[in-house]
Amino acid sequence: MDCVRRKASSVAEQRLTTRAREIVTAARALVEEAGPEALTMRSLADRLGIKAPSLYKHFPDKAAVEVELIAQHLAESAEAHEAAESRAPGSLAALADAYRTHALAHPHLYRLATERPLPRHALPPGLEERAAAPLLRVCGGDVERARAVWAFAHGMVILEIHGRFPEGVGLGEAWKTGVAAFEGSAP
């Protein structure tokens, strides 16, 4: 997973100054530890040992910092999905497993990226498409089928993150059943 994070960070390295990258790294640590709700410009400044107004030299507002975190999440997701596709070409099960594994490894970052409107206009060009491409390929280019699979995967992951399944429920089996249903639904 560290390899995925290093590759994904190259997106930010191309667009951000060294100090801005340090700010994003601190913001990510804060979100990963305490959730998206913990991210404020004041808490971020405190973590960095600076005054909050200093942050505004690098980012106009908290939303701009969040965009960078969402971009990291999408880039890392793309890397994880591409790796799964490379290991098991055409396997929806492998892709679904990679999706779930990545989301559960970074639940707060996943929530930040998926529980509010996506700031598409502010993301690096092509990033969202890159993250979706492995799923679209495994679905044979069928956009509607890919959306349905993504909705299933997202629903399962977010329910799992929020602890909405009863204790002892065989989620692995639920995933297998859901994926099998989609594999059997090929046009």
- For residue 167, the domain's CATH number is 1.10.357.10
DSSP states of 10-43 as a string? HHHHHHS-HHHHHHHHHHHHHHHHH-GGG--HHH
Q: Please enumerate in sequence order all residues whose Cβ is within 8 A of that of 45, keeping only pairs 6 or more positions apart, or say none.
A: 51, 52, 54, 55
Contact between residue 112 and residue 158 where contact means Cβ atoms under 8 Å apart: no
Domain interval for residue 156: 2-183
The yes-or-no verdict on residue 60 having pLDDT over 90 is yes
The yes-or-no verdict on residue 19 having pLDDT over 60 is yes
Contact between residue 104 and residue 47 where contact means Cβ atoms under 8 Å apart: no
pLDDT at 168: 87
Digit-coded pLDDT (tens) for 155-181: 999 999 999 999 988 899 999 999 999
Domains identified in the chain, total number: 1
pLDDT (mean) for 91-112: 98
pLDDT at 3: 47
